[in-house]
Amino acid sequence: MPDIIYGETNIVDEERRSLGLRRLRAPRKLSWKSFRMGMLVCHQSFIPKRAVAPLYDLQYRYSADFDWCIRCMKQARSFCNTHLILSDFLDGGTSTTQRKASLRERYAIMCKYYGTFVTVLLHGWFAIRFYTAKCLMDDYVDCLKFVQIGLRDTNLCHNYNCNIWRLKIDGKPEVIMPKSFSCPKEAATALRDFINTENAPAPTMYTYNSDCAGLAAAIEHCKLYSDTKSKMFITRNISTIMYNVFHTEPDGEQFMIGLIKDGVLTDTALKKMLSEMNKDTYLKNAVILKAYVINALSDIKCNFAL
């Protein structure tokens, strides 16, 4: 059995809802020198054998765990990265609320083990890393506001009978935004990366939604950019799209014909449509749509239109 087993830490709020993994991730290989770059493994996800685990040094009020982990690793000869989440950590512990005092202690501990010169240089790098992370977090918060602004349950957008809205940013491709998200934080991250990356294609925001708003956004995205990813998404969900369209649109048949004309549907999607129309009662009267589907699948095209 290894001397130390370690893994990742999940950050949770007071109601134990996950806030995501800890920002500093466990390294693939761990040694006592790893902590020069900060406490890469939270002590709750750090499990040493009793033989290599000393007592806490109580002169440190806020960072005794940092010192303890280093001393454990200096004694250890073998390590095992589980690549698993080993603990939940409540956001805002004592070392968080007493951050300045904790950082002073941590600085002293680093000087003790790694030397003052190295520690000063590393803290210059920490300052750059902190500033960069803060800028990215500010961008993330702004992007999260963009994501939330169009949600049905956060503003007056529910007064408009549609499932999407369009985000236009100077110098960037237009982004089709659904009016609901099942993964708003992931959607905000994707939007932030899009804004901060030069010449980035419009993000597929429909992938962060699992209801009819996501399907509507996929259709509009495909009309605008006609990319393979959105066509495949539509193909996988064509049965649900047909059901929603014929039960919510005033003229579902014309809507589906419009998708065929716009080139949104793949041959596989068209074949699925044909299969649905042959077995579902509510689609059997859609004879004009059926003709369009057959024509779109035929090698010899007929020139007819309504």
Cα distances (Å, whole numbers) of residue 180 to 48, 157, 276, 288: 45, 11, 28, 33
Confidence of residue 221 (pLDDT cuts 50, 70, 90): very high
Q: Is the pTM of this model over 0.75?
A: no
The pLDDT tens digits of the residues spanning 131-165 come to: 555 554 455 556 666 666 666 554 444 444 578 88
Residue 15 has pLDDT above 80, yes or no: no
The C-alpha torsion from 276 through 282 and 286 to 291, rounded to 10°, is 10
Collapsing DSSP to helix, strand or coil, 8 comes out as strand
Are the C-beta atoms of 50 and 8 separated by less than 8 Å? Answer: no
The pLDDT tens digits of the residues spanning 235-285 come to: 999 999 888 888 877 788 898 999 999 989 999 999 998 888 888 776 777
Tokens 């649109």 locate to 249
DSSP E strands: which ranges in 133-188?
164-167, 175-178
Q: How far does the chain reach from its first CA to its final CA, in angstroms?
A: 75
Confidence of residue 3 (pLDDT cuts 50, 70, 90): very high
